[in-house]
Amino acid sequence: MTLNDFILSLQVPPYQSLTALFLLLTAAYGIGSPLLCRCRWHGSASLREFTGFVLGLDLLALLFRLGERLVCTMPATVPAVVLAIPSGYGVWLLLKQLPAICRRHWLLLLLAVAGAVWTLGSAFCMPYAWDEQVYQTALPFRYLASGSAAMVLDNSYSAFPAMQHFLMMPAIRLGGVVMPRMLVWGVYPILFVWFFLALRRFGRLTAVTITLALLLSPVVAAMNRENYAEPFIVLNLFAGACAVRGLVSVRSAALLTGIFAGMAAAVKLTAGGVSLALLLLLAGRLLRNGRRIRPALPLLAGFCGAALAAAFPFYLRSFLVTGNPFYPFGSGILHPGSTAAAVETYHTLLGRHLYGLEGWWSPAVAWIFAGFDEKLFDGVVLGLQLPLMIAASGIALFLLHRRGKARSRVFLVPLLAALAIYLFWGYSSQQTRFLLPFCFVAGWAMAALAGAFPRKIRFGLYLLLLAAAYESILFPALRHYELAWKMQKENRTRPVDFVARTSRDGAYFAMLDYLSRETPANSRVLLLFERRGLFVPREYRIGTPYFQEQFFTPVPERPDAVLDALWREKIDYILVGATEQNPEHLEVYDRENLKLSLLLRSLLRAGSLRLIPVPGGGDYTLLAVEKPSDGKITEK
């Protein structure tokens, strides 16, 4: 089998992927919407329906997490049947509301559908981005292949709670390798339609301007073309904020907001600021309703209990394997001097050394540089519109305070919630995409505070905001969506050529093609200084030192220790990477990597490893591991 045949086996027809996505999204709506219908609700019914959809999505993720072994091993028809029942009910609910929706929001729906169709070609593309091939898409496939979603020590990213992976796994069974991209693609129109409807109470012009400014942000254009987790955090942020404001019963608001806060944290640790922000919003509502702190404590405790109950199943995975629910972070405290602590240091450097500004003072100015300075962040900026929205909101808040403290006091709690999200980002990992939830918060703040300006100034400010958005447009990212449609034939018929070109690393896929054609099907491959495992056509492990702790962390002192590890883990081949496409290269570990390379060279000279020439392999190296003659692992 060639690599092209292997990748083609991961695909299904596009209509099947769309059907799987439709089943998943309508099932979420069919589960969550009826649960909220029984609750009394303030304000827009549309916002309640969106909140119900997110609740259903969260409940599906919890269901699939608790039944993960069944998800990984059952036939594909089973998740289809499980989703079909609530999906049918969700479709029935939508059809009942469709005439009213089309009558009230026909233009908004038309624009949303047009944008979705334009970007759909990208969603159909094979996963080619680095993070997708390392973990965002690779890990769900690995779980399905192994029959378990338990954390694996050779890929530290598998310790992430990653609630979205449990939505993706049954979807992959139905819709193939593009389903993770399809799910993210389906979320973005929902986010922006929901955001527009939430802003509409501040005026149609305000809602249109700010929604458009965010929609044109470079980070949105870049993230929508790959499989990233942040949209699921934003969904739960929106839902939690709507629950705090919309539910009449404060008890229901506390419990439901707690669920959304827990599910936001169940996506990844970087959502901790969002969970804290939702707690502050709930506390603000309780105190604003005349409750004193002591009577409000049981409701806040209910929030925390619901949040912990929602997040617990997802953090349990890493706890069962490592004893640390936040692995690898916190390992230095729980297990000082251990290999896990060394892995924590590595990943901490990835977040702080490569991206953003360093120093305790950095959050004071990072929001400005995040708007335009690609070198300081992860290659994608937020656009000039973000600093402009933050500055305008600050000036408006100052004007309100000058006119009367009562007016500005209304925004005190939302301001603290926004600061919680921003400061958590500023003091954890300053990657641009992690700030996506705050972008929506900044947009809401500007919409809510714009009324502090006179009408002419407000109109001029909107023009300036749109001009800043236009100036910040990432045209190559927009061009990507056009090219994605043009490359669909190659994507569907010659996927190896497609991913080799889009990954800009043809030599790597030449190595994978050789593995697919020339090695036994039951071989196990070790990826060394390389992490992209999605398209490896054999069972694989990742062996990059300090990125993970199962192999060579720390690097052994003797060649025989390396050989014993290879034999013990039944490694047949070693693929040694030398790619320049790695966005996370840390020079501080070059000495350790060189040390391991020299140990491999010693084994090669001793005949324990054998070099395999691979045509077109470039700077990559493929080594075969020679097994002991008696088939047993020797004790050294």
- Shared domain for 460 and 515, answered yes or no, is no
Q: Name the band, by pLDDT with cuts 50, 70 and 90, for residue 357.
A: confident
Q: Over the stretch 192-236, which tens digit does the pLDDT of each residue have?
A: 999 999 999 999 999 999 999 999 999 898 888 889 999 999 999
- Shared domain for 445 and 568, answered yes or no, is no
Residue 98's Cβ-count burial label (10 Å; 0-12, 13-18, 19+) is exposed
CA-wise closest residue to 86 among 142, 22, 172, 156: 22
- Shared domain for 473 and 350, answered yes or no, is yes
Specify if 399 maps to a domain.
yes
Q: Which of residues 79 and 387 earns the better pLDDT score?
A: 387
Q: In the prediction, which pLDDT does 632 show?
A: 44
Q: Name the band, by pLDDT with cuts 50, 70 and 90, for residue 288.
A: confident
Find the domain containing 431 and state its range: 13-322+333-477
CA-CA distance, 172 to 196, in Å (whole number)? 31
- Shared domain for 121 and 177, answered yes or no, is yes
Q: Name the band, by pLDDT with cuts 50, 70 and 90, for residue 290.
A: low
Lowest mean pLDDT among 361-365, 389-393, 514-518: 361-365
- Shared domain for 367 and 509, answered yes or no, is no
Q: Over the stretch 151-172, which tens digit does the pLDDT of each residue have?
A: 999 999 999 999 999 999 999 9
Specify if 166 maps to a domain.
yes
Q: Count CB neighbours of 303 within 10 A.
A: 27
CA-CA distance, 76 to 5, in Å (whole number)? 21
- Shared domain for 236 and 147, answered yes or no, is yes
Q: Over the stretch 454-494, which tens digit does the pLDDT of each residue have?
A: 999 999 999 999 999 999 888 888 889 999 999 999 999 99
**Kind of pairing between the strands at 524-528 and 539-542:** parallel
Q: Name the band, by pLDDT with cuts 50, 70 and 90, for residue 630.
A: very low
Residue with tokens 């924590």: 344
Residue 541, beta-bridge partner list: 526
DSSP states along 287-327: HHTT--HHHHHHHHHHHHHHHHHHHHHHHHHHHHHHS-TTT
Measured in whole angstroms, the distance separating CA 270 from the mean position of its chain's CA atoms is 10
Specify if 20 maps to a domain.
yes
Helix, strand, coil percentages for the chain (3-state, nearest 5): 70, 5, 30
CA-wise closest residue to 168 among 235, 259, 232, 217: 232
CA-CA distance, 394 to 364, in Å (whole number)? 14
Specify if 254 maps to a domain.
yes
Q: In the prediction, which pLDDT does 379 show?
A: 66
pLDDT above 50 for 282: yes
CA-CA distance, 559 to 576, in Å (whole number)? 16
CA-wise closest residue to 305 among 247, 242, 262: 262
- Shared domain for 313 and 455, answered yes or no, is yes
Q: Over the stretch 493-546, which tens digit does the pLDDT of each residue have?
A: 999 999 999 998 999 999 999 999 999 999 999 999 999 999 999 999 999 999
Of the residues 410, 442, 477, which one is the last residue of a structural domain?
477
Specify if 494 maps to a domain.
no
Q: In the prediction, which pLDDT does 625 show?
A: 95
Task: Give percent above pLDDT 70 in the chain.
Answer: 97
- Shared domain for 399 and 296, answered yes or no, is yes
Q: Name the band, by pLDDT with cuts 50, 70 and 90, for residue 291.
A: low
Q: Over the stretch 569-599, which tens digit does the pLDDT of each residue have?
A: 999 999 998 777 777 788 889 999 999 999 9
pLDDT above 90 for 349: no
Domain total of the chain: 2
Specify if 210 maps to a domain.
yes
- Shared domain for 530 and 466, answered yes or no, is no
Q: Over the stretch 72-123, which tens digit does the pLDDT of each residue have?
A: 888 888 888 889 999 999 999 999 988 888 888 888 999 999 999 999 999 9
pLDDT above 80 for 43: no
Q: What do you get for the CA distance between the two ends of the chain, in Å?
A: 38
Q: Which of residues 54 and 430 earns the better pLDDT score?
A: 54
Q: In the prediction, which pLDDT does 586 show?
A: 86
The answer to whether the beta carbons of residues 90 and 33 sit under 8 Å apart is: yes
Q: In the prediction, which pLDDT does 371 show?
A: 85
- Shared domain for 466 and 559, answered yes or no, is no
Q: In the prediction, which pLDDT does 635 show?
A: 40
Specify if 632 maps to a domain.
no
Lowest mean pLDDT among 17-26, 366-375, 519-528, 623-632: 623-632
Q: pLDDT averaged over the chain?
A: 91
Q: Name the band, by pLDDT with cuts 50, 70 and 90, for residue 631.
A: very low
Q: In the prediction, which pLDDT does 345 show?
A: 94
Task: Give percent above pLDDT 90 in the chain.
Answer: 72
Q: What is the pTM of this model?
A: 0.95
Q: In the prediction, which pLDDT does 406 show?
A: 63
The tokens describing 284, both together, are: 């603000």
- Shared domain for 369 and 508, answered yes or no, is no
Specify if 440 maps to a domain.
yes
Q: Name the band, by pLDDT with cuts 50, 70 and 90, for residue 367.
A: confident
Q: In the prediction, which pLDDT does 431 show?
A: 85
Q: Name the band, by pLDDT with cuts 50, 70 and 90, for residue 350.
A: confident
| For range 163-183, the mean pLDDT | 95
- Shared domain for 446 and 529, answered yes or no, is no
